[in-house]
Homo-oligomer: A and B are copies of this chain.
Amino acid sequence: MDGRLLIIGGAAGPELLVRFVELAGGRSARIVVIAAATESPEAAEAFHVGTFTELGAASVCALRLASRADANEPGTAAVLRDATGIFFTGGDQRRITTVLGGTAADSLLQELVAAGSVVLGGTSAGAAMMSATMIIGGGGPGVTAASVHTGPGLEFVPGVLIDQHFAQRGRLNRLLSAVALYPHELGLGIDEDTAILIDGDRFEVLGSGAVTIVDAGAATDIQVPPEGPIALAGALVHVLPAGHTFHLTGRRPGIGEHSHEDREPAPSARPQRVSVPAGGGGPAPSGGADRPGDL
């Protein structure tokens, strides 16, 4: 996965939305808003189109995907290919997978992201669907097999489970439940007005809250009874606020390594959309490689 993803835990404030526009090219940005997570997309479309326009993007449009037929339309592909930023709004993550999963639009999104020709953003349900495994429900007190329901996401980020509205809705129990059941998946809990910016194998935390990372791959023992509380011993937890980084494959925080403005390319220098998306024709995304000092 070489692309750039901005994954927001819901309730994004101006800082994160400004950052999305910058990542998409600033005054050259061509942004597409997709509100497929809700049956009543009008309000989410209007809000995001209005906001991204105010923030100075060159063009912003809403792409209405109400059905799989819409997602397979040649016109849809044309709109997506022309974008420099694509943003998924909130709602029910299962609506996103039901409408998009396995369609031409899904395949094209994967291509465009892998090629580095778009930045893909998503908030709330639009964040959840980016993970290999989505949390689609659950909750209630305790760490139990019944505390979480999962389903496959669209897999823009392999090997992770993403939960959102994390601190605000007290969702650590369900994230612990999920990683106890599936310790090969790294659990990421993203607070509201907080995001991870994934660039290659590394992400940086942005926004006002924190990202809680639960690594049950480190667990020394896990016991999941059919009913009642799960036993989980030796999981690792990291709580990372803005500026901190994390390496996904190494499963290690780059705590203390704050972001530097000069690490971000100027908007005019960002990778441009390429006409042949496969094969990674775009310039290498910034910050994709391991760096010394990321410990």
Contacts and interface: CB of A to CB of B under 8 A. Distances in A.
Q: Which of A208, A210, A214, A233 has the most CB of B within 10 A?
A: A233
A66 interface: no
A242 B180 CA distance: 17
Interface residues of A, number: 39
B239 A214 contact: no
B256 A221 contact: yes
A46 interface: no
A195 B220 CA distance: 23
Contacts of A33: none
Interface of A: 141-143, 167-168, 170, 172-173, 176, 180, 191-192, 208-210, 212, 214, 220-221, 223, 228-242, 244, 253, 255-256
Given A141-B191, A170-B172, A223-B255, 13 more contacts: A141-B167, A142-B167, A170-B170, A208-B228, A210-B230, A221-B255, A228-B241, A230-B241, A231-B241, A233-B239, A234-B238, A234-B253, A237-B237
